[in-house]
């Protein structure tokens, strides 16, 4: 059997379909948005305060016939438009899809959860629900960021404002969130212990979540990658066997076993290095 050469060899060596990275990234992106929106819905049902932007959305929903998910979409559209105008470039697909899906997901979870997502009668139950929502938001945020498909609408605006004003990124985020928090509170949005806990805990939780999902994303994308020189029995150091274990460790073990075995030496007088036949008896 002849080996492929040139471009044909590269195609023959590739054992991963071209659509696989696309499917993995977008599936993780969608799953992250779904988990994060579930966390927002859980915090709403806990009734102990929300994140600054969600206070703003709930405040608008309390004085209009629109739902919190609709206001999340409308506010996101305004933020995306402002960021695009300031940056003078079209927003990425990630920001647009984030804006649309988050609103639908939040309303969907609130609608589906009216049977099982009820506000607890005790303070301990509300506190547990609040912390559950915070954990879900942190996990979902890291999962949707890990595929690197673009920042969300509000993150994009923070980045653009920091670039245009030369103000540190953390200060821009703080000023923006304080502004929407005050506006949401004046509109009747729920401000409470959950608002304070979100501001204090979401940063460390997101950092841990991003580190975890970044590692997982590399493993998911690394499995089935192109293996250089597979016909020469070479294996890349970052390939995986599909069960979470690097293939290279097994290859190293096989190499050590191969070194332990001594090569067969040809006996004198044999042709082509073939071992001579010995007579028995």
Among 172, 196, 222, the domain-final residue is 222
Same-domain status, 150 and 250? no
Residue 75 forms part of a structural domain: yes
Residue 274 forms part of a structural domain: no
Residue 185 forms part of a structural domain: yes
Domain count along the chain: 2
Residue 10 forms part of a structural domain: no
Same-domain status, 23 and 55? yes
Same-domain status, 117 and 255? no
Residue 275 forms part of a structural domain: no
Tokens representing 118 are 């009820």
Same-domain status, 180 and 66? yes
Angle value at C-alpha 204, between 244 and 108, nearest 5 degrees: 80
Query: What's the CA dihedral at 178, 184, 190, 196 to 10 degrees?
Result: 0
CA separation, residue 241 to residues 12, 55, 86, 236 (Å)? 19, 46, 47, 11
Same-domain status, 142 and 235? no
The span from the CA of 31 to the CA of 69, in Å, is 18
Same-domain status, 122 and 94? yes
Same-domain status, 251 and 117? no
Same-domain status, 127 and 245? no
Residue 120 forms part of a structural domain: yes
Q: Which residues of 143-175 are buried (b: 16+ CB within 10 A; e: fewer)?
A: bbbbbebbbbbbbbbbbbbbeeeeeeeeebbee
Same-domain status, 217 and 239? no
Same-domain status, 102 and 197? yes
Same-domain status, 124 and 216? yes
One pLDDT digit (tens) per residue for the chain, 281 residues: 444 455 554 554 445 567 888 888 899 999 999 999 999 999 999 999 999 999 999 999 999 999 999 999 999 999 999 989 998 888 888 888 888 899 999 999 998 876 677 888 899 999 999 999 999 999 998 898 888 887 788 888 888 898 888 888 888 888 999 999 999 999 999 999 999 999 888 888 888 888 899 899 888 887 544 433 333 333 344 434 333 444 444 444 444 445 544 554 544 554 554 555 444 44
Residue 58 forms part of a structural domain: yes
152, 160 Cβ separation under 8 angstroms: no
Q: By residue range, what is the domain housing residue 236?
A: 228-260
Query: What DSSP string describes 115-177?
Result: TT-PPPSSHHHHHHHHHHHHHHHHHHHHHHHTT-----HHHHHHHHHHHHH---HHHHHHHHH
Same-domain status, 45 and 168? yes
């Amino acid at each position: 059997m002849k080996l492929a050469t040139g471009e044909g060899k590269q195609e023959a060596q590739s054992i991963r379909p071209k659509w696989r990275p696309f499917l993995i990234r977008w599936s993780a992106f969608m799953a992250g948005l779904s988990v994060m929106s579930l966390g927002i819905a859980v915090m709403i049902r806990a009734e102990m305060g929300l994140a600054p932007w969600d206070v703003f959305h709930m405040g608008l929903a309390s004085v209009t016939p629109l739902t919190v998910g609709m206001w999340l979409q409308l506010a996101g559209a305004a933020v995306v438009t402002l960021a695009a105008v300031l940056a003078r470039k079209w927003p990425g697909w990630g920001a647009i899809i984030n804006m649309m899906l988050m609103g639908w997901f939040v309303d969907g979870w609130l609608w589906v959860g009216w049977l099982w997502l009820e506000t607890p009668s005790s303070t301990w139950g509300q506190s547990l629900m609040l912390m559950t929502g915070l954990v879900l938001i942190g996990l979902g945020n890291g999962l949707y960021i890990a595929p690197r498909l673009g920042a969300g609408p509000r993150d994009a605006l923070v980045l653009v404002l920091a670039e245009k004003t030369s103000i540190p990124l953390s200060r821009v985020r703080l000023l923006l969130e304080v502004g929407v928090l005050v506006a949401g509170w004046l509109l009747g949005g729920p401000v409470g212990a959950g608002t304070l806990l979100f501001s204090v805990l979401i940063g460390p939780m997101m950092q841990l979540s991003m580190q975890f999902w970044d590692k997982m994303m590399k493993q998911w994308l690394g499995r089935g990658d192109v293996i250089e020189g597979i016909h020469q029995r070479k294996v890349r150091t970052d390939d995986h066997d599909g069960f979470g274990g690097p293939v290279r460790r097994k290859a190293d073990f096989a190499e050590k076993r191969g070194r332990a075995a001594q090569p067969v030496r040809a006996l004198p007088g044999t042709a082509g290095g073939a071992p001579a036949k010995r007579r028995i008896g």
